[in-house]
Amino acid sequence: MSPSSTTFEQNLARHAATVEARLGLLLDARPRAGEIARPQRLIEAMHYGALNGGKRLRPYLVLEATRLFSGDEEAALLVGCALECLHSYSLVHDDLPAMDDDDLRRGKPTVHIAYDYATAILAGDGLLTYAFDIITSPETPLQDGAKATLVLELARAAGVGGMAGGQALDLAAETQAPDEAGIVLLQSMKTGALLRFACEAGAVIAGRGAEDRAKLRRFGEVIGRAFQLADDLLDLTADAATMGKATGKDAAKGKGTLVALKGQAWAEAELKRLVTAASDELATYGETATVLIEAARFIAYRKN
């Protein structure tokens, strides 16, 4: 924690520790009912890929969106862990030589470097599969209806129509630069869909109806856009030491970003606009929504 840490960042770090402790238990060597065995090297690689020092922003959003509606915190923690397994799978596969070919992730060797290529593919597969296991596990205190809804929404956010499709568009963008609409589509799929899911999941976990779900979904969409815009700004301005990964890489690959297309000043104004829009989306919830609005601000204005 830097001296400039706000209360928000302390709160985020405290939650991250809780999520990591639970992920550590979920990714231990003990097979669960219906599993035959957990091969040591593979479960270790999954553990390594998931416990890599991230900010755990997605589980934080699940937890705080659930809290907004006084939903079950244990369920939120487990759905947050499931989402983090899924997010981790995407990082493990995106880093592979055939994809973005990154040797470092948050300053540490990526899974295919620390283990090997095949193990990294399988660790990603295992983490993706495990996300759906955790949601539907008997230990997750949710009604079957909420579990089925969460599986469906997560699968649609993560699959060909969401994150995986976004990564396909991202790879295609290396050979043919997308226009503005193409960039917006790519980013809404690649990073937006999971952040949107994280927020909407809170309403589902708390058993709320279509109206609350739609509000949280829109809030998630807006902060997804802010997240990506902030990321593109950081890719341009931050150095590798701050980010723990190679920077300036998107620009070097000729990948279009909205920042490259419309300039830094536009991006900074747009981030302010998005924070306001996110805040407006939650206006009906009054004071209770403060923590989520702070999260939106953090996402937009973060420095790493």
Where on the chain is the footprint of a second copy (CB under 8 A)?
31-39, 41-43, 46, 89, 93, 96, 98-99, 116-119, 121-122, 124-126, 128-130, 132-133, 135-138, 143-145, 147-149, 151-162, 164-165, 167-169, 171-172, 185, 188-189, 193
Token duo for residue 177: 């630069």
Closest distance between a second copy and the C-beta of residue 239, in Å?
28
Nearer to a second copy, 132 or 298 (CB): 132
Token duo for residue 88: 């981790």
- Crossing angle (nearest 10°) for helices 290-301 and 7-26: 90
Nearer to a second copy, 14 or 32 (CB): 32
Answer yes or no: are the C-beta atoms of 77 and 19 closer than 8 Å.
yes
Residue 108, helix vs strand vs coil:
strand
Token duo for residue 28: 């231990």
How far is Cα 56 from Cα 15, in angstroms, rounded to an integer?
A: 8
Closest distance between a second copy and the C-beta of residue 129, in Å?
4
Nearer to a second copy, 9 or 44 (CB): 44
Name the DSSP class of 159.
Answer: S
Residue with tokens 């209806």: 145
Query: Which of 214, 168, 195 shows the shortest CA–CA distance to 84?
Result: 195
How far is Cα 44 from Cα 282, in angstroms, rounded to an integer?
A: 41
Nearer to a second copy, 107 or 161 (CB): 161
Nearer to a second copy, 74 or 284 (CB): 74
Nearer to a second copy, 74 or 101 (CB): 101
Closest distance between a second copy and the C-beta of residue 128, in Å?
6
Closest distance between a second copy and the C-beta of residue 137, in Å?
6
Name the DSSP class of 152.
Answer: H
Closest distance between a second copy and the C-beta of residue 248, in Å?
22
Closest distance between a second copy and the C-beta of residue 254, in Å?
17
